[in-house]
């Protein structure tokens, strides 16, 4: 790293609570009960299971992969954290309920006082955003990490949309670039059914970031300006099924990682590719989704590249179970889990003294 880069890094780094030390006893799975959006049934007006994140955790607990003490509790991203990517102007616009109603596509939000909108809608999204940033550091530390939420890939620094109010993927990558020595190249593998125009706009002219995006070419957002940022673009047609889909996932993941070797992979693992999804328009089976995640993790892990997974879109009733099944499959394949961490993900991060998961006030928290 040059002196110039070093001084720029220090100049741009504010104090953050999102890069706290996490005990080794915790799995790098990040979650907080505040992820879930519940407010007088309002959440039911959106074609979303707005409680899917909690259900994923419930299923993982049932299978005894995790418990309250061995996962990482997400923290809410602060305004200063958000300003690493977002403009002050954009964050101010979120103080208007009408703007939030339009971004989240929940029209009645328009009629709520903004204090409620902040607490009931934006705080969950800010907590998920903090979770993605935390998981970015954990991925580098441990070789892998999963944020059970996040993946707001339609939001860029100055524009939200498609339920995405904060650009968590851009934020996680910029935090790593600014704060973690040795992390200067990232690859985004975006396999949500929609084009990831948010991070694409943010990294349009940034050669440090390689973007692979595979999506239904006929649906939202169809952002041709943002498409210029995609280095490996795979456009799918209505009703694409497992056999074609999985061949393409493998071919292009391997191809992307052979083309450029990044220091970290951010995997946007949207499940709206599932057959029957009202928005995605693809016909992938639950088993296909499980296999897809396995292919991506294997491609990164085999090369020793840290991988951060976020769950992004996909809100059918069965979605949470499929995400949990996929995480359990990654474990049974030896791609994640306590054993998978040994000898993996060598980190150039500074070492910090570990804190126990003690009472309130401890710098480390676990669910």
Residues that bind Zn ion (CB under 5 A): 192-194, 270, 272, 313
- Per the residue annotation, which of 32, 86, 153, 154 is the catalytic one? 154
Task: CB nearer to Zn ion: give 263 or 277.
Answer: 277
Of 322, 336, 232, whose CA–CA distance to 273 is shortest?
322
Q: Show the tokens assigned to 150.
A: 């996040």
Give least dist CB 243 to Zn ion, A: 22
Give least dist CB 129 to Zn ion, A: 17
Task: CB nearer to Zn ion: give 32 or 194.
Answer: 194
Give least dist CB 169 to Zn ion, A: 13
Rg from Cα positions in the chain: 19
**Residue 185 β-bridge partners:** none
CA distance 99 to 165: 10
CA distances (Å), 119 to each of 58, 104, 232, in order? 24, 14, 38
Task: CB nearer to Zn ion: give 74 or 282.
Answer: 282
Task: CB nearer to Zn ion: give 43 or 213.
Answer: 213
Give least dist CB 211 to Zn ion, A: 16
Task: CB nearer to Zn ion: give 193 or 282.
Answer: 193
Of 142, 206, 148, whose CA–CA distance to 174 is shortest?
206
CA distance 149 to 50: 11
CA distances (Å), 116 to each of 43, 89, 109, 113, 183, in order? 13, 21, 9, 6, 38
The CB-nearest residue to Zn ion is 313
CA distance 173 to 129: 12
The reply to whether 153 belongs to the active site is no
Task: CB nearer to Zn ion: give 183 or 214.
Answer: 214
CA distance 13 to 10: 5
Give least dist CB 270 to Zn ion, A: 5
Give least dist CB 231 to Zn ion, A: 20
DSSP-assigned states of every residue in 291-354: HHHHHHHHHHHHTT--EEEE--S--STTHHHHHHHHHHHHHHTTSSSHHHHTT-S---SPP---
Active-site residue set: 154
């Amino acid at each position: 790293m040059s002196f110039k880069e070093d001084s720029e890094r220090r100049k741009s780094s504010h104090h953050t609570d999102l890069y706290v030390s996490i005990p080794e006893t915790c799995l790098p799975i990040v979650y907080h009960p505040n992820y879930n959006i519940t407010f007088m049934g309002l959440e039911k007006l959106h074609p979303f299971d707005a409680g899917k994140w909690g259900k994923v955790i419930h299923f993982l607990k049932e299978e005894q992969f995790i418990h309250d003490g061995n996962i990482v509790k997400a923290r809410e991203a602060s305004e200063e954290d958000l300003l690493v990517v977002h403009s002050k102007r954009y964050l101010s616009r979120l103080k208007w309920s009408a703007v939030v109603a339009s971004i989240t596509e929940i029209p009645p939000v328009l009629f709520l006082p903004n204090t409620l909108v902040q607490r009931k809608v934006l705080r969950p999204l800010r907590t998920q955003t903090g979770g993605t940033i935390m998981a970015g550091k954990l991925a580098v530390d441990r070789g892998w990490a999963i944020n059970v939420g996040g993946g707001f890939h339609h939001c860029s620094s100055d524009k939200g949309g498609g339920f995405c109010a904060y650009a968590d993927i851009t934020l996680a990558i910029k935090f790593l670039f600014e704060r973690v020595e040795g992390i200067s190249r990232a690859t985004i593998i975006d396999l949500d059914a929609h084009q990831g125009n948010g991070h694409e706009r943010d990294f349009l002219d940034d050669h440090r970031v390689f973007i692979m995006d595979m999506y239904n070419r006929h649906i939202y957002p169809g952002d041709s300006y943002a498409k210029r940022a995609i280095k490996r673009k795979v456009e799918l047609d209505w009703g694409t099924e497992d056999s074609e889909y999985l061949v393409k996932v493998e071919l292009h993941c391997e191809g992307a990682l052979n083309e450029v070797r990044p220091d970290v992979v951010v995997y946007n693992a949207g499940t709206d590719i599932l057959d029957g999804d009202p928005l995605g328009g693809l016909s992938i089976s639950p088993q296909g989704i499980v296999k897809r995640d396995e292919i991506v993790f294997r491609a990164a892990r085999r090369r020793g590249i840290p991988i951060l997974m976020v769950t992004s879109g996909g809100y059918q009733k069965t979605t949470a179970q499929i995400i949990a099944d996929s995480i359990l499959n990654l474990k049974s394949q030896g791609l994640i889990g306590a054993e998978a961490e040994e000898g993996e993900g060598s980190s150039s991060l500074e070492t910090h003294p570990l804190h126990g998961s003690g009472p309130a006030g401890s710098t480390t928290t676990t669910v």
